[in-house]
Homo-oligomer: A and B are copies of this chain.
Amino acid sequence: MGYQFDADTAVSGDDGRWSATLTDDWSIASGVPNGGYLFAVALAAAGQVVPEQRLITATAHYVRPGQDGPADLAVEPVKRGRLTSTVAVALNQDGKERVRVVATYGDPALQDAPVQHPIAAPVIPGPDRCRSTHSELALAIGATIAERFDYRVLPVSRWVGGEGPGEARIDGWIRFADGREPDLAALPFFVDAFPPALGELVGPVTVPTLELTVHVRKQPAPGWVQARIEARHIAPGLVEEDAYLWDSTGELVALSRQLGLWRP
């Protein structure tokens, strides 16, 4: 049986020119796909160039909002190498570029060595002792993404009606709602699948992403992915947000940073 993430990020085409159909099922508002979804689609095309290597770092610059419907992807191999390769992708819709992605892939051995000095996961209650988020409000504004993931967050989170942690930070867990296991393709989406951490400090807020960079450090084991999302340097205008993801064995699998626009 196929999973929705795989169907909705599928690309077709060939050498240099790919196409995809963005669905309205990963949206943050009616018809506005989540940035992580666009990223995942762009990377699905980029990865065709270097199937023998694994994604290790990718950056997306969001230049216009995406929309549901057809997209075409112009894929440019920047450099193919034995150890690493770099690919650029422009995701276009209706003749206008929406996202520019540059991604570097590498020999799988680069991700397989034991970690000597880790960024350890914070100790938080397991998914069963965290709170599920409520998708009713989200769905009312067309945020269909709320149904695609299972989120579990600390009870203190404003997202589940708590007082907030006193910082711009979300700690919790994420997995696909339909049972698809996490993998390298899913991680660039997971890092952007939470609401803005800034909301935990200031209340409901919109923070459009200008740029998002993810480092993929390891293939995740099956199961829940633990997440920490935090914004640390907050000024009207620009806010950065870091995400850390650990797999079910406690290993860091991805870390990301994005720069968002905040206009209070």
**Within 8 Å of chain B (Cβ to Cβ): is A94?**
no
Q: Is the CB of B115 within 8 A of A233?
A: yes
Bits for A97-122, please: 1 = Cβ < 8 Å to B, else 0: 10010101010011111111111000
Q: Is the CB of A86 within 8 A of B102?
A: no
Give the complex CA separation of A231 and B217 in angstroms. 14
Instruction: Give the interface segment out of A56-64, A136-144, A157-165.
Output: A56-64
Chain A contributes a number of interface residues (CB within 8 A of B) equal to 51
Q: Which residue of B lies closest to A84 (CB)?
A: B210
**Complex contacts, A110 vs chain B, CB 8 Å:** 237-238, 261
Q: Is the CB of A255 within 8 A of B238?
A: no
**Complex contacts, A119 vs chain B, CB 8 Å:** 232-233
Give the complex CA separation of A106 and B63 in angstroms. 12
**Complex contacts, A24 vs chain B, CB 8 Å:** none
**Complex contacts, A232 vs chain B, CB 8 Å:** 117, 119
**Within 8 Å of chain B (Cβ to Cβ): is A215?**
yes
Give the complex CA separation of A78 and B61 in angstroms. 10
Q: Is the CB of A238 within 8 A of B56?
A: yes
Q: Which residue of B lies closest to A234 (CB)?
A: B117
- A59-B102 contact given A110-B261, A117-B201, A213-B257, CB 8 Å threshold: yes
Q: Is the CB of A114 within 8 A of B235?
A: yes
**Within 8 Å of chain B (Cβ to Cβ): is A25?**
no
Can you identify 27 A-B contacts, CB atoms within 8 angstroms?
Answer: A57-B61, A57-B210, A57-B259, A59-B59, A59-B61, A59-B102, A59-B211, A61-B86, A61-B102, A63-B86, A78-B97, A79-B97, A88-B100, A100-B102, A104-B211, A106-B238, A110-B238, A110-B261, A113-B237, A114-B236, A115-B235, A117-B231, A119-B232, A213-B257, A217-B235, A217-B238, A240-B255
**Extra contacts besides A88-B88, A215-B257 (14): CB < 8 Å:** A56-B210, A59-B211, A63-B79, A64-B79, A88-B100, A110-B237, A113-B236, A115-B233, A115-B235, A117-B168, A117-B201, A119-B233, A213-B213, A213-B257
